[in-house]
Structure 1
């Protein structure tokens, strides 16, 4: 199970957006991944290769019966180089595609993605009056219907140019959905229909006739972002459940959970998540190249690797009590945190296996798998926390036991999904080959490990610093960090959806449509940020009572919450700008801006105000608030100046 404020990011700077519902939408051909695939294939005998190719061909014959729609590598949306506050990434939903410009480097789509791509393109053609409407226009509309259509219709208003008869009309006048698309000809085959649609789409794009509306982009953003937000909140509910239950035991216990979570993040979970990001490239490229049996091989190899690393991680967690006693002034807090980590170690193998398994299913386009798993695991985790801590009266130890069980249950549920629902086609059984060829995997994994570790460290330093004030301050910091990470899940999901939508449109050379989509995302992020500001401000005296019964902790949280509420708008805008930068292929800019603002600006201000001016928690969060404001302003300025015409070609003069 993930812990408070955990995150997963991408490892390869050549790979696309994080495992969003649009996972390998922008898969680039990593030389390291290609080297790994070549090495793996070299270990198979000729008979094994023929057998595997036969099996892969049978499993993919249905999807290859269609024309091969392709996807762009224009965005290069590596989230590894875009520093963000720790969050959860367990993507759900489905990804959408728009066929890229023919000159763009591409990667193969699954059959489902091809269908989504065609539907999206056909819908855009209709909205631009270049294809017949899906439903016949009624003779008369009511006043309400006309108002609704005016406000929410995705169709672009007709211009004089639309009223002109095109020189080479493709469709007859007033066609219907069932009309023959080619007059005076036999019913065309599905393949011919798709090829003709592709030609029409490419001609419309080349002629600059494809436009979009804010209504369409708002609906698309909702469709993309809603499953992401739900999935993020589900996964974040796992650690929140423990904080809720333990927080009401006492201030000491709440502070210990925060300290244990920090230690688990830095020394364990960040390592698992960072290293597992290499599968985003390895599994996706193995699947995209048609070598489906290698997807399961990469999964096995990563699981064994992470399990091997669990040994040194376990040594640290077993010794955590003595280590923490040297770092924090409160020895009793260190003792409870050490106990928490010793129990948590039982679930570490399961957690690492789940991190690798997520990439296994996502590389196949099965992004809803983790959502279904969490829909079962999240409520069960909350129930176990309540049952063990309060009903069985196990007290503090009940929370880590619930966590360990949940961690072990997650890969089991994912395995059941693969076995009985989908994803089994990429599993060819256990093989000794998984113990060979670890070099490319490690080479791809290390950048992700470094980046994720840096992200964890930045915010967990605040937790460690708060322990030097008092146990009460540490407990309050646990509540504040949980709240801000929880509110961040919504704009973060929106940012991923916006990133993918913009990258899709840029990949199809629809820069005007991409700008419209970006403006809609910016407005939505602003509204979400304002709502978060109002929520935390108005409920600043009530929200802390959900986490603890200690009046001093409640008072302290209430006093700092206005600062946390004040930067919610900046937080949402910064997340949105990060997503748009990734969509344009400027993720390096976002990474530099975030790293400078957090490590060069935020940390000195936080420590200076907290310890130098004795602002304590208010000081720690003041630096974060200033950093987020600078991030939002700097990235917004860069987006205004960026060249959207080429989707990553530099800034305008």
Structure 2
């Protein structure tokens, strides 16, 4: 049977690893009205920003982690510091646009000294990034818990049921969830700068367009999921396991539209500085999910459904999150970013498709590479596969922190580019790299200090514990480049460079890292350590080149590109403000 491993940014990572680990432990006895022309102009400005992630002045009050104030957004006029040509009023400047939304930070206030030292400005950005990162990190961990509860429930039914859940989870990741995540990452480029543009309603408009694109992509996913049993049998999976995996996917599909919607709505909130909203919603749903898993799998007779109870519980939880997100967005968040659903919601979709395909390539290349490594580990025997599960679960858990930082960095840099504040955008990007080193150092130190006993958290087999201890120093080194790869990916997404990120991942994993790891493992008999050396080499390549591209970015040139395109747009449309 195939096994699944997944490392990057989805709630379905840990379940597969836990499932695989539990399976082998058991086997060895361990048992998602029409616009005015002013909006049309704003949309053009946002379109120009898709490739280079620039927009225009202004931001709204940042909401600190302990609380949010959704009913009282801070609206601020274009300030005196906005001296760019795009910010200076002209005869064509809309008279009804004196205010733009702000994510108001102390460093952006009129009284803040712009001539502070470089070290002070870096420290200011680090504090802002930490404030943005913490609630995103909480969301990631809570989202993991949704599917972990499902796997734990199934794991106590039987080894076959657990194997089927593992196979079903792997199929869902490869054919659906990774693709949705990749397309949704396009919003990391568009929404933050759209929010700080002269037309914040573009946030709602582009959100609706992404919903249309992803909704269309769900059709082939459903076709695969509802024919999964036949497909898995063609791939020579065990008949009983393939049958149960097909059932698992059919019931999980109930939550597929909600999963996609949640990926979109989370970015809708985060682009406005409402980082706490997804965290609060998932924090409420997570205990409900655990209760549903107990009732539907192991509960009293009227509720107990056995194997299918776990995917039903998870799908129900995803739908609850969607309902809560809509409710929160309608009743507790100002309508500043919302755009009425009109025919424009179905236009310019090709832009999202192009960026979405690059984003999907970037995400899928990472996810699928871990699946390949898992398959290679399965050829080394149960001890190596169990060890791989322990290492992957550990690395996936620590990866949540730099991934959360990458999301925070995308929002911060995107917002600053939307203001045409090129200098501060560069400082924020560079500060995120420094913060990544600090986070990675903590994880690396933890692995090194506890390397000899770490394996006992997951398994009591002395061979597994010993093999885990021998590879953990490599995993500790791995943390630095893993984190840098995540953060540089966030910066590239803020600039609209998903294609660059995709090319880095494809070349790093499939041309360098994985072939090198397989060569060490099977040609030089280095076992599991060879696979991890290959993964580390691939991430050194991705992180080093990604960091270089971010450090040499000419942020002023990024703004100039937008101004040039704005000028070209105005030349092509000499009367952009006439009524349509």
Fold agreement, TM-score > 0.5: yes
2:56 equivalent in structure 1: none
2:313 equivalent in structure 1: 402
Question: Aligned to 1:370, which of 278, 283, 289?
Answer: 278
Cα distance change on mapping 1:627 and 1:455 into 2, 3 Å: closer
2:174 equivalent in structure 1: 266
1:273-292, CA deviations, whole angstroms, 9 ceiling, x for partnerless residues?
22334444555566555555
Matches of 2:49 and 2:476, distance apart in 1: 40
Matches of 1:31 and 1:372, distance apart in 2: 34
Question: Aligned to 1:381, which of 289, 295, 299?
Answer: 289
1:67 equivalent in structure 2: 77
2:458 equivalent in structure 1: 544
Residue 432 of structure 1: CA displacement? 5.7
2:255 equivalent in structure 1: 347
Matches of 1:121 and 1:461, distance apart in 2: 46
Residue 310 of structure 1: CA displacement? 2.3
Residue 264 of structure 1: CA displacement? 0.8
2:227 equivalent in structure 1: 319
State how many pairs are aligned: 486
Matches of 1:60 and 1:500, distance apart in 2: 21
Question: Aligned to 2:322, which of 387, 390, 411?
Answer: 411
Residue 306 of structure 1: CA displacement? 2.8
Helix, strand or coil at the partner of 2:217: helix
Question: Aligned to 2:135, which of 210, 218, 227?
Answer: 227
Cα distance change on mapping 1:515 and 1:396 into 2, 3 Å: closer
Residue 400 of structure 1: CA displacement? 1.3
Residue 489 of structure 1: CA displacement? 1.1
Matches of 2:258 and 2:430, distance apart in 1: 43
Matches of 1:296 and 1:516, distance apart in 2: 30
Matches of 1:291 and 1:646, distance apart in 2: 23
- 2:151 is the counterpart of 1:243: yes
Q: CA RMSD in A?
A: 4.7
Matches of 1:109 and 1:568, distance apart in 2: 48
Matches of 2:439 and 2:370, distance apart in 1: 23
**How is 1:203-602 mapped onto 2 (pairs within 5 angstroms)?**
204=115, 211-212=119-120, 219-220=127-128, 222-281=130-189, 283=191, 287-291=195-199, 295-392=203-300, 394-427=305-338, 430-431=341-342, 434-435=345-346, 438-466=349-377, 477-494=388-405, 509=423, 517=431, 520-521=434-435, 523-534=437-448, 537-545=451-459, 556=464, 559-560=467-468, 562-564=470-472, 566-576=474-484, 579=487, 594-602=505-513
1:31 equivalent in structure 2: 48
1:346-392, CA deviations, whole angstroms, 9 ceiling, x for partnerless residues?
11121122223223333434332212221112232233233333335
Matches of 1:629 and 1:534, distance apart in 2: 20
Matches of 1:254 and 1:561, distance apart in 2: 27
For structure 1, list consecutive stretches of 5 or more residues without a partner in the other structure.
Answer: 9-26, 35-58, 71-98, 123-193, 546-550
1:567-606, CA deviations, whole angstroms, 9 ceiling, x for partnerless residues?
2333234413653686597978876655433222221133
Greater Cα shift, 515-524 or 478-487: 515-524
Matches of 2:200 and 2:424, distance apart in 1: 33
- C-alpha contact (below 8 Å) 2:395/2:475 kept by paired residues: no
- C-alpha contact (below 8 Å) 1:602/1:627 kept by paired residues: yes
Cα distance change on mapping 1:427 and 1:121 into 2, 3 Å: closer
Helix, strand or coil at the partner of 1:422: coil
- C-alpha contact (below 8 Å) 1:487/1:532 kept by paired residues: no
Matches of 1:340 and 1:525, distance apart in 2: 37
1:312-351, CA deviations, whole angstroms, 9 ceiling, x for partnerless residues?
2112112212222333554443333222212111111211
1:166-186, CA deviations, whole angstroms, 9 ceiling, x for partnerless residues?
xxxxxxxxxxxxxxxxxxxxx
Matches of 1:221 and 1:33, distance apart in 2: 23
